[in-house]
């Protein structure tokens, strides 16, 4: 199957060979599923799964004082917290405090590496160039980089047999250079599933060789369908759904990545919002009946609209509908245990606010 006008990862032909269902996602041809979303979801929760994430964007900066100062001025989190080989989760904001993208930033031995969402790669690259007051060289390495992920409670044991790096010595949100199946890679203990696992950054031309070597060791390939159910069970946000430029990190429950003791674009707007208080908050909820929430559904209280669902799905682990959505702070319905209603096809269904994550996986620790 070919979708005209879309980009493709170096693994597209191998996905088609495995009869994956190919769909359009963020301008890319990507596998939605192979064996089925439920089977792939369970493989990751109970064992291990293999993802092609080569659509994600990779942007590099030089590791020098100017590179540090420039990046520090753009992101809300504090780059000075990182030691070499460590990564952090952060967001980049516009002057109004709206979220331009969420991303992972690596402090490596030879560079700073930003991994951004596929839908925002060009936007972030252009934003960085427009705000480059120090004339720092910036390189978009997306097309020459492939990203494979191995996720699940058995991910470490599986990958360890294919590398001479001691994986148990890599802490969560750290990365090292090494070989995987004789392919040079940046091996990072990160992921988007709530399970332990690794992400492997390799040269694009090496990706098919690595993918096939991993599959030969018997691992379930996983598509975007299960990636979404896994990330939502873990309570991870998706850009374009749970956060956009219309939302601030304070509203999205990401205040922990905002470090006001340093300067960054959007700081003043966020300080003002912090002082005044947010008017809406992102909450997590579980359905009390068999109804399934979807993006765009209205959140109600006593028949009055108090918010909107931003992500919703059926949780294969909980066997219930789960979701995220913004609610008005004035409604008081943002605390754990609060009851609300979701409007599904003109009928209201009960839901309860819960603490994230919906499902606690094998991931080693918080970032």
- Reported as half-sphere exposure (CB side, CA atoms, 13 A), residue 103 has a value of 31
Query: Cis before residue 339, ω within 30 degrees of 0?
Result: no
Cβ count within 10 A of residue 64: 13
pLDDT tens figures, 114-138: 999 999 999 999 999 999 999 999 9
Per-residue pLDDT at 334: 85
Decide: helix, strand or coil at residue 112: strand
User: Using alpha carbons only, how large is the chain's radius of gyration in Å?
Assistant: 20
**CB neighbours (10 Å) of residue 268?**
13
**Angle ∠(78,84,89) on CA atoms, nearest 5:** 40
Check residue 12 and give its pLDDT.
98
Helix axes 37-46, 224-233, angle to 10 degrees: 50
Residue 2 to residue 356: CA distance in whole angstroms: 38
Reference 52, options 14, 106, 3; nearest CA is 14
Structure confidence at residue 333 (pLDDT)? 84
Are the C-beta atoms of 341 and 349 separated by less than 8 Å? Answer: yes
The token duo for 178 is: 């090494």
Interatomic CA distance for residues 12 and 29, integer angstroms: 8
pLDDT score for 321: 98
SS3 133: coil
Give the whole-angstrom CA distance, residue 331 versus residue 316: 31
- Which SS3 state, helix, strand or coil, does residue 136 take? coil
CA distance 84 to 277: 36
Residues 143-186 pLDDT 10s: 999 999 999 999 999 999 999 999 999 999 999 999 999 999 99
pLDDT for residue 365 = 63
What pLDDT, in 10s, does the model give residues 197-242?
999 999 999 999 999 999 999 999 999 999 999 999 999 999 999 9
Q: How far apart are CA 321 and CA 300, in angstroms?
A: 16
- Domains of the chain as residue ranges with CATH: 7-53+143-233 (3.30.1360.120), 279-367 (2.40.30.110)
Tally of residues, the chain: 367
Distance in Å from the first CA to the final CA of the chain: 39
CB 51 within 8 A of CB 135: no
- Give 124's contacts (C-beta < 8 A, 6+ positions apart): 57, 59, 92, 100, 101, 103, 114, 116
| pLDDT(256) > 80 | yes
């Amino acid at each position: 199957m070919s979708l005209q006008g879309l980009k493709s990862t170096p693994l597209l032909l191998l996905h088609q060979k495995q009869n994956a269902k190919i769909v359009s996602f963020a301008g890319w041809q990507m596998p939605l599923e192979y064996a089925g979303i439920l089977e792939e979801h369970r493989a990751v929760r109970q064992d291990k799964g293999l993802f092609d994430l080569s659509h994600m964007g990779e942007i590099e900066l030089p590791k020098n004082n100017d590179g540090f100062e420039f990046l520090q001025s753009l992101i809300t989190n504090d780059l000075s917290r990182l030691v070499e080989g460590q990564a952090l989760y952060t967001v980049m904001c516009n002057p109004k405090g709206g979220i331009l993208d969420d991303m992972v930033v690596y402090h490596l031995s030879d560079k700073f590496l930003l991994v951004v969402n596929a839908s925002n790669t060009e936007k972030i690259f252009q934003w960085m160039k427009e705000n480059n007051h120090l004339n720092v060289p910036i390189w978009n390495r997306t097309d020459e980089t492939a990203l494979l992920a191995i996720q699940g409670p058995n991910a470490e044991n599986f990958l360890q047999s294919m590398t001479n790096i001691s994986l148990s010595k890599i802490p969560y949100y750290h990365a090292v250079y090494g070989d995987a199946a004789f392919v040079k890679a940046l091996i990072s203990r990160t992921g988007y599933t709530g399970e332990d696992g690794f992400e492997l950054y390799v040269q694009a031309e090496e990706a098919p060789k690595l993918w096939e070597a991993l599959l030969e060791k018997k691992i379930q390939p996983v598509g975007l369908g299960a990636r979404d159910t896994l990330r939502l069970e873990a309570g991870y946000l998706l850009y374009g759904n749970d956060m956009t430029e219309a939302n601030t990190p304070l509203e999205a429950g990401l205040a922990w990545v905002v470090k006001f003791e340093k300067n960054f674009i959007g700081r003043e707007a966020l300080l003002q919002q912090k002082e005044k208080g947010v008017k809406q908050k992102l909450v997590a909820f579980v359905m009390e009946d068999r109804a399934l929430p979807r993006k765009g559904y209205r959140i109600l209280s006593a028949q009055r609209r108090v918010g909107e669902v931003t992500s919703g799905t059926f949780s294969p682990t909980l066997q219930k509908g789960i979701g995220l959505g913004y609610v008005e702070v004035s409604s008081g319905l943002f605390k754990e245990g609060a009851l609300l209603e979701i409007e599904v096809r003109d009928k209201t269904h009960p839901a309860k606010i819960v603490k994230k994550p919906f499902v606690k996986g094998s991931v080693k620790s918080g970032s």
